[in-house]
């Protein structure tokens, strides 16, 4: 259903029926495996950018790697990986080609905790960062979020394997798993989340952006994606795709009634386009 929706949007908004556009090969790293909650939306944005530029994208997945391994392959110039999507950091922007259009309009920095369903009241009394520091968060070993949380004084337990974090939470090897508001509902619907629940009160926030990162050997790909996404922002098609994929994730989370705990983000690069209000969304 969702694939049909974004394909109809692309055809209607971007003139996808152009005759035989030149093909561009994109090998992307599916860093969270086949259950990556971001993949359908990222696929739609890749195709949107290509269509805006009159190009036909041929997408192929490079599986079984985390973000750190994908980054190292891209830096070495291996032909197997051209691109991955993830949270920005100074290191990533220095070593890779960042397409500085926030794909999630900043929603990746708004986080609701997953907790074990057998401890539903675990964080009930927490209202401040200092109180939250009594509990352990779970994160990916190579995620920028891990450093952000630790710099804020919050204990973090890590795993190199994204799916393993869910079973670790069930086993109480840590206490809560902060997930973005655009991924948590999909994750709760996955078999990985059996025995887990959404914590009903808290909302963590740190300013950040989710970008396409491109291998240095593919500057033409980075440039094409940047121009295509800028065109889609200007003509409104980016927002239409964004709302088609993400509005449903925000429903039912009760964001307006949650206690917000603000965290600083020392990793946020100076070039982050915070002044461009059209690129950001506040839940």
User: Which one has a higher pLDDT value, 55 or 80?
Assistant: 55
Does the model's pTM come out above 0.85?
no
Could you tell me if 49 and 185 lie in one domain? no
What does the mean pLDDT of the chain come to?
89
User: Do 29 and 8 fall within a single domain?
Assistant: yes
Judge whether 263 lies within some domain: no
* 143-161 average pLDDT score: 95
To which residue do tokens 């290509």 refer? 50
Report helix, strand and coil shares of the chain as percent, to nearest 5: 40, 20, 40
Domain check: are 91 and 216 in the same one?
A: yes
- What's the pLDDT at 3? 47
Classify residue 33 as left (phi > 0), alpha (psi -120 to 50) or beta: left
Supply the pLDDT for residue 174. 98
Tens digits of per-residue pLDDT, 156-203?
999 998 999 999 999 999 999 999 998 899 899 989 999 999 999 999
Q: Residue 17: what pLDDT?
A: 41
Residue 265, domain member (yes or no)? no
How high is the pLDDT of residue 244?
93
Most distant CA atoms of the chain, gap in Å: 60
Annotate 134-165 with b (16+ C-beta within 10 A) or e (fewer): ebebbbbbbbbbbbbbeebebebbbbeebeeb
For 62, half-sphere exposure in the C-beta direction (CA atoms, 13 angstrom radius) is 21
Tell me the residue range of the domain where 243 lies: 2-105+209-251
Each residue's pLDDT tens digit, 209-266: 999 999 999 999 999 999 999 999 999 999 999 999 988 888 889 898 999 999 999 9
């Amino acid at each position: 259903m969702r694939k049909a929706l974004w394909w109809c949007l692309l055809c209607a908004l971007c003139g996808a029926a152009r005759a035989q556009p030149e093909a561009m090969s994109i090998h992307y790293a599916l860093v969270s495996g086949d259950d990556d909650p971001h993949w359908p939306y990222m696929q739609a944005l890749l195709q949107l950018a290509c269509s805006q530029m009159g190009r036909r994208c041929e997408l192929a997945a490079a599986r079984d790697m985390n973000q750190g391994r994908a980054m190292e392959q891209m830096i070495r110039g291996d032909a197997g990986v051209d691109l991955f999507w993830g949270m920005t950091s100074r290191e990533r922007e220095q070593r890779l080609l960042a397409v500085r259009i926030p794909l999630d309009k900043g929603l990746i920095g708004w986080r609701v905790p997953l907790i074990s369903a057998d401890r539903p009241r675990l964080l009930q009394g927490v209202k401040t960062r200092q109180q939250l520091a009594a509990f352990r968060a779970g994160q990916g070993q190579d995620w920028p979020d891990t450093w952000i949380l630790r710099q804020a004084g919050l204990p973090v337990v890590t795993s190199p394997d994204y799916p393993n974090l869910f079973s670790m939470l069930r086993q109480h090897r840590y206490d809560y798993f902060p997930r973005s508001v655009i991924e948590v509902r999909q994750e709760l619907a996955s078999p990985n989340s059996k025995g887990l629940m959404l914590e009903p009160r808290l909302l963590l926030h740190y300013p950040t952006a989710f970008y396409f990162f491109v291998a240095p050997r593919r500057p033409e790909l980075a440039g094409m994606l940047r121009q295509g996404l800028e065109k889609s922002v200007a003509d409104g098609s980016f927002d239409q795709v964004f709302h088609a994929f993400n509005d449903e994730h925000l429903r039912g989370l009760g964001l307006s009634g949650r206690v917000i705990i603000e965290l600083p983000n020392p990793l946020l690069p100076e070039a982050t386009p915070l002044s461009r209000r059209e690129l950001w969304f506040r839940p």
